[in-house]
Amino acid sequence: MLSDGDFQRVAELMRETAAAELLPRFRNLAQDEIRQKRPGDFVTVADVASEQRLATGLAKILPGVPVVGEEAVEKDAGLVDLIARPHLSCWIVDPLDGTANFAAGRDRFAMIICLVHDNETIGGWILDVPNDRMAMAGKGQGVTLDRKPIRGGVPGRAPKGLIGYRIRKEFDRQLDSTQRQRLGELSTLNCAGREYIEILDGHFDFCLYRMTKPWDHAAGALMMQEAGGQALRFNGIGYRPGDKVDSGIIASPSPEVVADVRTLFEAVQLPLLVPRS
């Protein structure tokens, strides 16, 4: 569906959009340019402007393919249903991942785009905007970080993870010392896109989250798989972007790390974090 040239066009569109809509507004927002959609869920004028520019550009790359953008979904929740349509395609866009960081002047934010066909991610792009690092993946074509092919492997240390706060707290509370020592540092950057970049760059080894909005995780899950690893739901089924958002994700470029983390996760009692049926 996408040529090599198209992959580069998406990357160029993201960099152009970041330069035009995000970077000029970083640490330069007025209070009335920031609001909360719900407690703790921020949106800024930069999110909206970035999404509009990206949607226009993507329509030129693949005419007729709809765009499911995070901010558009806020206005029309039914757009999410486009993701799981059989035999059809759509773009999924997070125009500013890590909005709370961006609004607070913290330089941990990203831009994420993925292309889905038949409820499978077939292309993914993540731009670490402040550091201009670009990860790209195509289904069956591998993953690159700044044009360098990435292949995962078993880390030579206890795996370090990026993990939601409540689950991290329960890991530290419930795992005995022997179990906990099987894991290294557990942290969060509050920016899924930046976290997937850090995993690809070897600074962390896995991520684990319950809430998995497709614009946060669809591209990164593909990248973990294309690096030789896995992205699994909490029930052990492979990640698909149209699944329920509370199905959870455990993802790593190393299948061995995914297996070990799943074993430890299943040893912890998290009744409030079990996916709803």
| Total domains in the fold of the chain | 2
What is the DSSP secondary-structure string of the chain?
A: ---HHHHHHHHHHHHHHIIIIIGGGTT---GGGEEEEETTEEEEHHHHHHHHHHHHHHHHHSTT--EEEHHHHHH-GGGGGGTT-TT-EEEEEEEEETHHHHHTT-S--EEEEEEEETTEEEEEEEEETTTTEEEEEETTTEEEETTEE------SSSPPEEE-HHHHHHHHHHS-HHHHTTS--EE--S-HHHHHHHHHTTS--EEEES---HHHHHHHHHHHHHTT-EEE-TTSPBP-TTS-TTS-EEEES-HHHHHHHHHHHHTS--GGGSPP-
State whether 11 and 133 are in the same domain.
Answer: yes
State whether 128 and 182 are in the same domain.
Answer: no
At residue 38, the pLDDT reads: 84
Query: Does the residue 187 lie in any domain?
Result: yes
State whether 23 and 60 are in the same domain.
Answer: yes
At residue 197, the pLDDT reads: 98
At residue 274, the pLDDT reads: 45
CB count in 10 Å sphere of residue 122: 18
* Interacting residues of 221 by C-beta distance below 8 A, sequence separation 6+: 121, 231, 239, 241, 249, 251
Evaluate whether 231 touches 196 at the Cβ level (below 8 Å): no
- Please return the burial class of 185, using the count of CB atoms within 10 Å of its CB with bins 0-12, 13-18 and 19+: middle
Q: Which of 95, 128, 149 is the last residue in one of the domains?
A: 149
State whether 134 and 176 are in the same domain.
Answer: no
Query: Does the residue 156 lie in any domain?
Result: no
State whether 135 and 174 are in the same domain.
Answer: no
CATH assignment at residue 81: 3.30.540.10
Query: Does the residue 205 lie in any domain?
Result: yes
At residue 271, the pLDDT reads: 56
d(CA 208, CA 185): 13
**Across-strand partners of 129?**
none
Cite the annotated binding site for Mg(2+) by residue number: 70, 94, 96-97, 216
State whether 15 and 115 are in the same domain.
Answer: yes
Query: Does the residue 29 lie in any domain?
Result: yes
Q: Which of 124, 149, 174 is the last residue in one of the domains?
A: 149
Tell me which residues of the chain have a pLDDT lower than 70: 271-277
The pairing of beta strand 249-252 with beta strand 230-232? antiparallel
State whether 130 and 213 are in the same domain.
Answer: no
- Range(s) of the domain holding residue 55: 4-149
Query: Does the residue 155 lie in any domain?
Result: no
State whether 117 and 50 are in the same domain.
Answer: yes
Q: Which of 125, 149, 173 is the last residue in one of the domains?
A: 149
CATH assignment at residue 222: 3.40.190.80
State whether 145 and 171 are in the same domain.
Answer: no
* Interacting residues of 156 by C-beta distance below 8 A, sequence separation 6+: none
d(CA 249, CA 26): 30
State whether 63 and 103 are in the same domain.
Answer: yes
d(CA 143, CA 137): 4
Cite the annotated binding site by residue number: 70, 94, 96-97, 216
State whether 9 and 145 are in the same domain.
Answer: yes
Query: Does the residue 277 lie in any domain?
Result: no
Query: Does the residue 198 lie in any domain?
Result: yes
State whether 89 and 212 are in the same domain.
Answer: no
